[in-house]
Chains A and B, each alone.
Chain A
Amino acid sequence: MRVGVVTFPGTLDDVDAARAVRIGGNEAVSLWHGDHDLKGVDAVILPGGFSYGDYLRCGAISRFSPVMTEVVSAAQSGMPVLGICNGFQILCESHLLPGALLRNNHRKFVCRDQRLRIENVSTPWTSAFAQDQEIVVPLKNGEGQYVADAATIERLEGNGQIVARYLEVNPNGSIDDIAGISNEAGNVVGLMPHPEHGVEGLTGSGTDGLGFFTSLVERAFA
C-alpha cells in the first residue's frame, strides 16, 4: 500500500514515520501541508512534532492547512488515517476524533518507554496485534492528557473505540489511562505514544511498534 506521511512546518517525526512505513512493508509517500491532493495514497499518517509551533493550541492551525481538507474528506470516506502524538492532537482539533489533549497533569514533558495494552485489534492500524497484547514503545509528550466528557468516554468504552491503554504508569493523567482511540468506523486512529520509534532493534526500546505499520499489509492481503 502507498502510505502518505504529512509534513507540517514544525513536524519532527515524519522521517521516522516514513522509515517505519517502509520497514512495515509499505511504500511511504511524502505529503506537504500545502498540498491540495493526497497523490493517490491508500492511507495517511500524521506524525509527531510541533506543527505550527503549537501556536494557539496543539494542532489548531494545522487543522486548517490545505492537506487537512483532503485528509478529513478521505477519512470520512473510510481511508485509514493514523495520527501519532501531534497527529493525534490534529485529529482531535479536526473533529475526526472526539475529545481533546491537554497539558500533562504533572506539567512536565515526559519521555519514557511506555507499556501499553492494545485493546482493539480490528482497526486497519492494529490488526497485526493479538487482542490485549502488551507492547512497550517510546512515549514523549508535553500535552498528552486525553480528556472528553463523561458521555463521550462512555461511548468510546462501549463501542470498543479505546485502541490502546497505558499500563503500569499513566504518564500524563489521561482519563481511564487512554493512550489511543479510534473513530466509530475504526479507520481513524489517534495515538499519543510513538510506535514509529520502536521498529528497529538498533535503536529504542525494541520492535513492538512495528505492528502499527504491518497491519496495513495484512489487511491488504487478508
Chain B
Amino acid sequence: MPKPEILDPQGKAVLGALPRLGFTGVSEVRQGKRFELEVAAADEATLAEVEKLAETFLANTVIENFTVRVEQA
C-alpha cells in the first residue's frame, strides 16, 4: 500500500467516481497491490525469503508499506 503520507492519485480517482455511481458513504480510497506467490511450504525460511523479495523488489519502501500473509491453497 502507498504510505499514509503519500498522495494516491488512483485512489482519488476511484473516490471521485463513487458519488457518480450513487455511493455516497465513502470518505477515502487508497489503492494498493496484491501479489499471490505460490510456494511448496510456508515454513520460516521460505517466509523470510518472501519477506526479503517483497522488500527488495515487490515494494518500494520509500513510498509503500507491505505485509506478508499466508493463505492455504
Q: Which residues of A line the B interface, CB within 8 A?
A: 56-57, 60, 64, 92-93, 98-100, 102-107, 145, 147-149, 173
Contact = CB atoms under 8 A, between A and B. Distances in A.
B7 A102 contact: yes
Contact of B13 (A57, A107, A145): A107
B18 interface: no
Interface residues of B, number: 12
B7 A173 contact: yes
Contacts, number: 34
Interface string B48-69: 0000000001101011000000
B62 A148 contact: yes
A100 B7 CA distance: 12
B62 A64 contact: no
Given A107-B12, A107-B13, A145 B7 contact: yes
B9 A103 contact: yes
> Which 4 pairs, one residue from A and one from B, show the smallest C-beta to C-beta distance?
A103-B9, A100-B62, A107-B9, A100-B63
A147 B60 CA distance: 13
